[in-house]
A and B are shown apart, each in its own frame.
Chain A
């Protein structure tokens, strides 16, 4: 059977996804979630109130983005 595109969301033909079991999601959420949160932390907060590395290089490099993305900077 061929799927057809529907303009208005829910319909029997809309390409809905199978539910992802929680057991399958958990390892991704833990590992992926942690790495992605770490990336957000480096852009948003590293070398501000807390620092994993000394110096101000990271803070300085992403400085403008940090301000414009709404993080408390300095």
Chain B
């Protein structure tokens, strides 16, 4: 049955990815292109290393001619591949988490569980990290800090996800102790508290150049958030619907209900 869930998770992820690509292409690319324009204008008159610093893997790559990949490719097939692979893989992992959570978090229908897991995943892996380390377009960030920024970002993801799993794990005993309403509130408060501590304790990495256009930055970050909202919302809704549909058709067979 896990294999069948996994396929459906990746299918839901792929659908989510295609819709997210439409969003990224329409609303994400314009600010990204303007950010590259700003970056190029800064690089022209500046000494190497400040605004025009790229990649930790050696020579600075210019957008457009690095490794022979053009901007046209980056913004179409590259973007589709990146968002598609990310979303599909996320869907697969989501299905595995769903298989673990199913039947262990109380009596929830597959659709309800799927939506709840997607909401929790979005909160833990997108919303909370977004507050501390928001997405940045090209032209922000220096090669000198890429190692630090990568480390703290993934560390925050790990802390946030662990805290979410802990809260979900504790929700059941807390419900038994404090009642269904207050128990869930207490579990949620625990996650919020850990998130707030993480925001406070994690180092702030300031990398925005002095004259970077604020409008471009705002639009970029908003569109980036929109892409993630689409991915998680579509994933949660489509996966739950696919599972219930298959279940009604008796396509998902487990130990308890082998009807074939």
Contact = CB atoms under 8 A, between A and B. Distances in A.
B66 A56 contact: yes
A19 B100 CA distance: 8
Given A43-B82, A61-B74, A17 B110 contact: yes
A43 B108 CA distance: 33
Interface in B81-126: 81-83, 85-86, 88-90, 92-93, 96, 99-100, 102-104, 107-112, 126
Contact of A10 (B102, B109, B228): B109
Nearest to A69: B86
Interface of B is mostly: helix
B74 A63 contact: yes
Interface in B9-43: 24, 28-29, 32
Interface stretch (B138-146, B164-172, B178-186, B193-201): B138-146
Contacts of A55: 57, 67
Contacts of A14: 109, 244
Nearest to A40: B89
Interface in A30-71: 32-33, 36-37, 39-40, 42-45, 47-51, 54-57, 59-71
Interface residues of B, number: 80
Nearest to A46: B57
Interface in A1-36: 3, 5-6, 9-10, 14-22, 24-25, 28-29, 32-33, 36
Interface size class of A (residues with CB under 8 A): 35 or more
Contacts of A62: 78-79, 81-82, 85
B102 A59 contact: no
Q: Which of A19, A43, A64, A70 has the most chain B CB atoms closer than 10 A to its own CB?
A: A64
B32 A67 contact: yes
A20 B83 contact: no
Contacts of A19: 102-104, 254
Contacts of B29: 64
Contact of B109 (A15, A24, A74): A15
Contact of B103 (A6, A15, A18): A18
B137 A61 contact: no
B78 A61 contact: yes
Contacts of B28: 64, 68
Given A37-B93, A72-B141, A64 B153 contact: no
Contact of A36 (B2, B82, B92, B138): B92
Among all A-B residue pairs, the 6 with the closest Cβ atoms = A65-B82, A18-B254, A19-B103, A62-B82, A15-B247, A49-B150
Given A15-B247, A60-B69, A68-B223, 6 more contacts: A36-B93, A37-B89, A43-B86, A56-B61, A57-B68, A61-B82
Interface of A: 3, 5-6, 9-10, 14-22, 24-25, 28-29, 32-33, 36-37, 39-40, 42-45, 47-51, 54-57, 59-74
